[in-house]
Amino acid sequence: MSETVIVDYGMANLRSVQKAFEQVGHSATITGDPKHVAAAGKVVLPGVGAFRDAVARMRDTGLADAVRRHIDAGRPFLGICLGMQMLFARDHEDGLHEGMGVFGGDVVRFPDVVGLKVPHMGWNTLRFARPGCPLFAGLPADPAVYFVHSYYPQPTAREIVAAEADYPTPFCAAVWKDNVFATQFHPEKSQRIGLHMLRNFASL
């Protein structure tokens, strides 16, 4: 299998993602070198924190361009949490900020609803929106996965939505288009179900 790299731009618990890949018998290298990212067989972009700071670091280091080159070359890519959100055109956290523009759409905050805790934190059930997503191959219906987020993407193209969850209304929990996969939840924190997804990705 070709090399998997985890993008280091200073805003993620990279070791937890690396350890999860090791648990499924697949090595993954952590790197902040844009050339290494652009040339990798598979790329994983995790992330936690503020969208504006993350995108700025990605651009300043050349990693944003490297990720785009990797994606445009048709090689497998997986975005996790903030790594998913940065793929979209715009984000509304503390103002309006431009994303990487891989997908059209906005990243928005959960609404202020009485009794709704934000951030959304904990286990929630996925509802698969499209059949045939390689990331979800072999999973049972309605699997539970782990979320920690206050914002989520609203894709312009509805057809890229691969899975939804409810909080309290449906929101986009995963996207898939060609070689690009991204999850709002954390596979590396989702125990057996999440490890199964990472194994699927590693075997692409």
Model pLDDT, residue 149: 96
Catalytic residue among 70, 97, 164, 188: 188
Whole-number average pLDDT of the chain: 96
In 3D space, the residue among 79, 198, 62 whose CA is nearest the CA of residue 149 turns out to be 79
Decide if pLDDT at 16 tops 60.
yes
Q: What is the pTM of this model?
A: 0.97
Question: pLDDT band at 33, cuts 50/70/90?
Answer: very high
Model pLDDT, residue 186: 98
Measured distance CA(7)–CA(4) in Å, rounded? 10
Angle at 20 between CA 15 and CA 24, to 5 degrees: 145
For the question of residue 164 being annotated catalytic, the response is: no
Domain boundaries, position 136:
4-202
Catalytic residue among 97, 120, 186, 196: 186
Catalytic residue among 70, 81, 172, 196: 81
Q: What is the pLDDT of residues 108-152, one digit of tens each?
A: 999 988 889 999 999 999 999 999 999 999 999 999 999 999 999
How many domains does the chain divide into?
Answer: 1
Q: What is the pLDDT of residues 164-184, one digit of tens each?
A: 999 999 999 999 999 999 999
For the question of residue 81 being annotated catalytic, the response is: yes
CATH number of the domain encompassing residue 32: 3.40.50.880
What 3-state DSSP class applies to 122?
A: strand
